[in-house]
Amino acid sequence: MEERRRMEEEEAKMRNFKAQPVLTEDPIPVPEKVRKPLTEVQDFKLRVDNRSLDRAEFDKKIKQKEMMHKRYREETESARMIEEEKVLKQLRRTLVPHARPVPKFDHPFLPQKSSKQVTKPRSPKLQIVKRKERKATTAFPYAAVSTAASQMR
């Protein structure tokens, strides 16, 4: 019982509000702020500016090269076209039909007699006779064996 009473007193004390004392001095000293002069802003150069100038110069050179190549192509093309036109004109000139000139009969053609002798005709050496003999000997190789069989053939 006594214990219970003591517990109740403690709870009652705890329910009563008691404020902490106000500190006049800061427990953690904060260093005083030092006032520095403002930063002076200096001019700065970006790499982008230099690169843009270089790129513009490069683009200009490329454009000049392209123009040179274009001019060269146009000149070669025009020269080729002129050459083709010349060739075509020449071809048309040569293709125009021209009449054959009339032959001149002032000096008629008189063939001269040849100094060579006339060719003598000669019979060709045909192998007919030999072929017939060969055929006769190879056609009946077994003719001596049976005369009846050779007669049947």
Give a yes or no: residue 67 inside a domain. Answer: yes
**Is residue 140 a contact partner of residue 150, using CB atoms and an 8 Å limit?**
yes
Residue 140 scores a pLDDT above 70: no
Give the number of other Cβ atoms within 10 Å of residue 51's Cβ. Answer: 10
Give a yes or no: residue 119 inside a domain. Answer: no
Give a yes or no: residue 12 inside a domain. Answer: no
**31 pLDDT band (50/70/90 cuts)?**
confident
**Is residue 143 a contact partner of residue 150, using CB atoms and an 8 Å limit?**
yes
**CA 67 to chain CA mean position, Å:** 24
Q: Kindly report, residue by residue over 77-102, the tens digit of the pLDDT.
A: 999 999 999 999 999 888 888 888 88
Domain count, the chain: 1
Give a yes or no: residue 112 inside a domain. Answer: no
Give a yes or no: residue 7 inside a domain. Answer: no
Structural domain for 58, as ranges = 47-94
